[in-house]
Structure 1
Amino acid sequence: MSAQALANLGEGQIAYVRAIRSDDLSRLFPQAPALQPGLDLFALLGADGTPILVTDSRNAAIANAWENDLTPVSVH
């Protein structure tokens, strides 16, 4: 399976939750305001890596996935 095919697998159905640091926020979410460095955050991303939202709570990221009819999976 190609990398592109793998990235499209689950598109529109699956989203993944990934722990990030506020230092990395601008890379995933360029429009996000600057935050204090060193904060632990959680990003919800589409199956293809498209950023959906960022929050300070893993549970909030998962709840948002369910609210948008996406099946959340965690990436460690």
Structure 2
Amino acid sequence: MDAKYEIMPENGERIVYVRPVNIEDLPEEIRPQVEGIKRLFAVHDADGERLALVRGRRLAFALARQNDLSPVSVH
């Protein structure tokens, strides 16, 4: 099931996806910047491009909303 979803639904919302990211899954050059943290949250656009990495899920949702984006959790 490879369903493609619209980035801009009829109501005009731009959707971004928020998902947890384990530190060991990050590129080597980023890991030293996040020592002591076990998990971050990534905000991705509909094409899968990472737009941001933040410490908490609530912060990821707030960041998205501040930028007129509609966040959706991805597990």
How far the C-alpha of 1:56 sits from its partner, in A, is 1.3
Which 5+ residue runs of structure 1 have no aligned equivalent?
Answer: none
> Which structure: larger Rg?
2
Query: Which 4+ runs in 1 deviate beyond 6 A?
Result: none
In the superposition, the TM-score normalised over structure 2's length comes to: 0.73
Encode CA deviations 1:34-76: one digit per residue, 9 max, x unaligned.
3448711110111111111101110110011001111000001
Tell me the matched-pair count: 70
Q: Percent identity?
A: 37
- TM-score (ref. length: structure 1): 0.72
- Residue correspondence of structure 1 range 62-73 to structure 2 within 5 A: 62-73=61-72
Structure 1 residue aligned with 2:20: 19
Q: What CA distance in whole angstroms lies between the structure 1 residues aligned with 2:51 and 2:14? A: 13
Where 1:65 maps in the other structure, the secondary structure is: helix
Please provide the CA RMSD for this pair: 2.7
Amino acid in structure 1 at the alignment position of 2:6: L
- Bigger helix fraction: 1
